[in-house]
Amino acid sequence: GTQVTVEIHPEDTSRQPIRILSLDKGAQRFPSLRGQDNKGFQETEAPQSLGAKDLHVYPWDKSSLKSMPVDLQQFQKLDAYALKVNVRSSVEELVQALLKQARTDLEKVRAIWMWICHHIEYDIVGYHNKSQRVIQPEDVLQMGKSVCEGYAKLFEQMCSVAGIQCQRLSGHAKGYGYKTGQTFTGDSDHAWNAVFLEGRWHLLDSTWGSGSVDDAFTKFTYRYNEFYFLTHPALFINSHFPDNSNWQLLKNTLTLKEFENKMLHKSRFYTTGLLAIQPDTPIIQTVNGKASVSVDCRANTLFMFKLKGTDREGLMTLRKQGMNLDIYPQKTGRHTLEIFAKPSKAEASGSLYDCVVEYIVECKSVDNTMRFPKDLHQPVGPSWFSERQGFLRPSHREPIIHTNDGRCSLTFTLGKDISVLSSLHSHDSSLTEDKGRRHILQTHRGNQIELKIHLPHAGDFVLKIYSKKKSDPGSYDYVFNYLIKCLNTEVKWPPFPLKYTKWLEDYEILEPLSGLLPANRNVQFKLKMHGIAKVLVQAENTHTLTNNRGCWEGTCNTSGCREVFVMVHENANHSFYSHVLKYEVETQ
């Protein structure tokens, strides 16, 4: 005696076909529209047509990755239960088992989602061979594998049994085989779902939530991806373009052309905490041999980049909430630029960087002046990372230091218990690591450290800075580096004097700074040293320095000698002297 109305509409209209329904309460048996047995089909209301309440603002408002509030902590018990359910006798019995721990519609959808993502693998053989493909829900359940259409159909059927309104959607996706900047033609190539929860429609993709395939498309790996569960529509449109644009669930829908031109932000882009990237187009052109990229993120994040598989043709700097990258391709043509990221807290755990975005860089001209030394390590310059290692208030915040006379001086405030080591590197193979260190003079004044650099010649140099805890007997760890550039070909600074182990880090050389002294001259010495009883300068003859308010001063004649040593007498009661400095004397 119940009147039932069936409406059928073309797929491209916004109203969706209404299923045959029971208007009575309780489970009923009805033949479905596809002629399959709908045993256990529960009461569902007529599918909701799309309305203003379903639509979200585009671009993304950077609020949430989900289209509704979801507390993943509250799902832990349900998720664990869903993973253990092992029923494959029928879709109805599987759903019945899953719903034992699910009460709300959201919990029902979550249980179905978790089960499919962890129990159905992508069918590699079926993808390559359509005749071996299974897509009907019961078959997918029995086989435990399918392609995207099978995932979407099974999800739709399980929701139907659970009394949840669900739509299977089709369209284009930037998935396996997608090439940056490509266009989409022909039939749709992917399927996913929409579910009706708490008064509005939401999007999800259980195929992409379950795992991934390798580059050769020969192996599927279960790798659960939370991102594709109730994804915010303004983020979902990055990779999914439905045939019916209404299912973008956006107030301002995108055209296919806009979708093609839009940057593909991989799921890890957002799950890592990144917010935006500029430029936001997949293909970028260099201007005078240079292209720039910047990323904004919520928290401190570590980045890497690869241009044509190497990080040598660019300069990356970290910001507190992002990074800046300037690239200088050294060949014209089209090049792939990959950006990688990982949260800073992942540093200690040793987790790997994930590729979050990919560009095609079109380079029409090369800037030959921006060739970087092979020893330059990315990122360049001080950052929140060097601050975290105890290098505070840097005098030079930019990554590149330009010097005309071949000299520069950097200062930092150091955190407690930090010992510093620095080295200078160049393309010039004659500048060994030991020689490079001789061109840096480290001076400690309380919690301040100064690094004086005198370059041996013009060119590009890398200043690397390492640290360790003074209380730690272990080795030094690399922290950060600078690029130092000098174009003046007349520059030729000698090294600083050689320091022996008895030279303490808070001693200071005021003069002479040059480790190469002029021959046959009287040379003035002025050294700041504490806790010393006597200081001698040994040349052809021995000269005694006098203590003037903490500075040991005096002169030494360099006639008739090739080397000059500074020696200290630490205890007036002992006759033993320790060497602390060594100078060379110019040959006549």
Q: How far apart are CA 546 and CA 193, in angstroms?
A: 86
Which residue matches tokens 């519609």? 105
Asked whether the beta carbons of 442 and 449 are under 8 A apart, the reply is yes
Q: For the domain 375-494, what is the CATH code?
A: 2.60.40.10
At 218, list the tokens. Answer: 């020969």
Q: Kindly report, residue by residue over 164-215, the tens digit of the pLDDT.
A: 999 999 999 999 889 988 999 989 999 999 999 999 999 999 999 999 999 8
Active site residues: 148, 190, 205
Q: For the domain 271-363, what is the CATH code?
A: 2.60.40.10
Q: Which CATH number fits domain 497-587: 3.40.50, 3.40.630, 2.60.40, 3.30.160?
A: 2.60.40
- Helix (H) and strand (E) counts in the chain: 13, 34
Question: What is the model's pLDDT at position 350?
Answer: 66
Buried b (16+ CB within 10 A) or exposed e, 126-149: bbeeeeebbbbbbebbeeebbbbb
Asked whether the beta carbons of 301 and 284 are under 8 A apart, the reply is no
| Overall pTM surpassing 0.85 (yes/no) | no
Question: What is the model's pLDDT at position 345?
Answer: 79
Q: Kindly report, residue by residue over 418-458, the tens digit of the pLDDT.
A: 999 999 999 877 788 889 999 999 999 999 999 999 999 99
Q: How far apart are CA 211 and CA 222, in angstroms?
A: 4
Q: Give the confidence band of 550 by pLDDT, cuts at 50, 70, 90.
A: confident
The CATH architecture one would assign to domain 72-262 is Roll (3.10)
Residue intervals in the chain for CATH 3.10.620.30: 72-262
Question: What is the model's pLDDT at position 349?
Answer: 58
Which 3 state secondary structure label does DSSP give 505? Answer: coil
Buried b (16+ CB within 10 A) or exposed e, 556-569: bbbeebeebbbbbb
Which residue matches tokens 């602390």? 580
Give how far the C-alpha of residue 523 lies from the chain's centroid of Cα atoms, to the nearest Å: 54
Give me the amino acid identity at 582: K
Residue intervals in the chain for CATH 2.60.40.10: 271-363, 375-494
Q: Where are the beta strands (DSSP E) in 123-273?
A: 145-146, 166-173, 190-197, 200-204, 211-213, 220-222, 229-231, 240-242
Give how far the C-alpha of residue 358 lies from the chain's centroid of Cα atoms, to the nearest Å: 12
> Does residue 18 surpass a pLDDT of 60?
no
Q: Kindly report, residue by residue over 483-528, the tens digit of the pLDDT.
A: 999 999 999 999 999 999 999 989 999 999 999 999 999 999 999 9
Give how far the C-alpha of residue 354 lies from the chain's centroid of Cα atoms, to the nearest Å: 6
> Does residue 145 surpass a pLDDT of 80?
yes
